[in-house]
Amino acid sequence: MPPTKLAPEEIRRGIDELGPWFYAFDFGDGLKTTPLIPPQVVGIHGTRLEMVETAAVAHFGDRLAGLDCLDIGCHEGFYAIQMAKYGMKVSAVDAREENLRRARFAAAASGAEIAFRQGRVETLAGDEGRTYALTLFLGVLYHVEDPMLCLRQVAAVTGEMCLIETQVVDEMEGSTEWGAQEWTRPYKGILAIIDESGEFDNGNRETGVTPMATCPSPKALLFMLRQAGFSRAEILVPPAGAYEQHARGKRVVCAAYK
């Protein structure tokens, strides 16, 4: 039996009681959330969703309905709810209960049945103990302080394909001395160290679980994904009219395959 959607009055009350909201949800009947992010940035979600949907449809085709999907770092459940609309069986995890509270409401207001749970990507494989054909790891990698640990955990719960979206830093080519002046090693990309302590200390709901973050360059991202256990990874081409950061290659969506 399909899950029942909340009544309009319950949706209206939930929107007011649970705000402020990060995403622009449209629950129908004129019931919408007003997102916290500035109007010029709101388009980021349309581009990411279009890229996720296009990649998932291209890979899974008519297997999408009934597919097992895990949204890692799901926040208010925006992408998990979109995947549920395809008939996928969606589970979703986030470190913050305050985000999950809104996610559970947004799913109920959308008539989507999603299994939400609090948890950290750092311990995902042991906590889940299973794989999902499709995993989403959107907007999280550049908020964590140990990206390899996290990518290994994500790879371990991915059955077929993982879609990763992340900010990337500019590529740095070069090599370094390695034990003696005449011995060198080429860079495989770089990881920048980012201080998010300002946002973290202010209770921002989008940061990682510690104030230090790292951000990969595109080559580093691809190299790390293969080291983490994916057999192949590719950076996807953004669509026409993409959000400016994706269009300029400062954020990327990457498909990684087991």
Ligand X SMILES: C[S@@+](CC[C@H](N)C(=O)[O-])C[C@H]1O[C@@H](n2cnc3c(N)ncnc32)[C@H](O)[C@@H]1O
What residues line the site for ligand X (CB under 6 A)? 73-75, 78, 94-96, 99, 120-122, 138-140, 143-144, 205-206, 208-209
CB of 240 to ligand X, least distance (A): 22
How does 8-46 read in b/e, with b if 16+ C-beta sit within 10 Å? Answer: eeebbebbeebeebbbbbebeeebebebeeeeeeebbbe
The 8-class DSSP code of residue 203 comes to T
Q: How far is the CB of 33 from ligand X (least distance, A)?
A: 14
Question: Closest Cα to residue 23, out of 43, 6, 4, 3?
Answer: 43
Shortest Å, Cβ 173 to ligand X: 29
CB nearer to ligand X: pick between 99 and 217: 99
CB atoms within 10 A of CB 243: 22
Q: Is the dihedral of CA 201, 98, 168, 162 positive or negative?
A: positive
Q: Kindly tell me which of 74 and 169 has the beta carbon lying closer to ligand X.
A: 74
Contact status, residue 166 vs residue 48, Cβ threshold 8 Å: no
Name which of 143 and 246 has its Cβ closer to ligand X.
143
- Give dist(CA 29, CA 185) in Å, integer: 60
Nearer residue to ligand X within complex by CB, 122 or 128:
122
Nearest distance, CB of residue 183 and ligand X, angstroms: 37
Closer Cβ to ligand X, 14 or 139, answer by number = 139
Closest approach of Cβ 28 to ligand X, in Å?
A: 21
130's tokens: 């299973």
* Closer CB to ligand X, 208 or 238, in the complex: 208
Nearest distance in Å: CB 137, ligand X: 8
Minimal CA–CA distance to 48: which of 255, 252, 210, 192?
A: 252
